[in-house]
Amino acid sequence: MPTDRIADAITHAQQGGIAVLYARRHWRLLGRAPGAAGTPLPELVDWAIRAVEAVRFKRVDPAFIADMVEAVIPRAWQERVEEWIVRDLPFDGATALTDFDCMKCGACCFDNKVELEATDLARFKAAGRDDLLRRVSRQKGKLLLPLAPTKDKPCVHLKQLKCTIYDVRPHLCRDFPVGTENCLSSREELYGTPFPQGR
């Protein structure tokens, strides 16, 4: 990659965007590091790393770039990341403002595996929702929220784009942030575009 493009990618990441550095087979995500030691990654950086199923991330050598982290993009994700780059080309700058109305969207509730944690099971039990405990799916040793066996595979607890177990919803559903690659991908898969009108 030409030096000026690397400088552009670094600037993009420093301004809050997610940059992709690539040379031949080596692809890396680049994003801002946490502010102080012990603080979490910025949310969009964290979820971009999760979206490509990177095994881990590390701080970039400060002699090269200060306050940045990088994660290797697995080969299986490189084509999809290229699609994200093309999708984002029309936007100027590292970040863009847009409106999302989760109450009219619900795309993240379709065809997504929500793995249940021990705290989720405890929450179901404390709420007297043994029916939820009996209805979980089991897949490769993991407990998941069940999906309806239809083409779009909605969560069985979704009715007219409303969560029927919202008060006791799993941790992953509580933390799922709007505007991340996971969110945009879910919207694109369900509606054919990551930016559907009125959603």
- Domain annotation covers residue 27: yes
- Domain annotation covers residue 93: no
> Cβ distance 155 to 81 under 8 Å?
no
- Domain annotation covers residue 95: no
Instruction: Quote the tokens at residue 150.
Output: 């239809």
H helices present in 61-143, as ranges:
75-88, 102-105, 118-126, 130-134
111 shares its domain with 75: no
30 shares its domain with 81: yes
Domain span at residue 40 reads 3-88
In the chain, the number of structural domains is 2
Model pLDDT for residues 13-56, shown as the tens digit of each residue: 888 899 998 877 789 999 999 877 778 888 889 999 999 999 88
42 shares its domain with 78: yes
- Domain annotation covers residue 108: yes
CA distance 65 to 55: 22
- Domain annotation covers residue 173: yes
Helix, strand, coil abundance in the chain, percent, nearest 5: 40, 15, 45
Residue type, 124: F
Contacts for 19 with CB less than 8 Å, ≥ 6 apart? 9, 10, 12, 13, 29, 30, 31
Question: Which residue in the block uniquely carries the two structure tokens 């941790």?
Answer: 171
Model pLDDT for residues 105-145, shown as the tens digit of each residue: 999 999 988 999 999 999 999 999 999 999 998 888 899 99
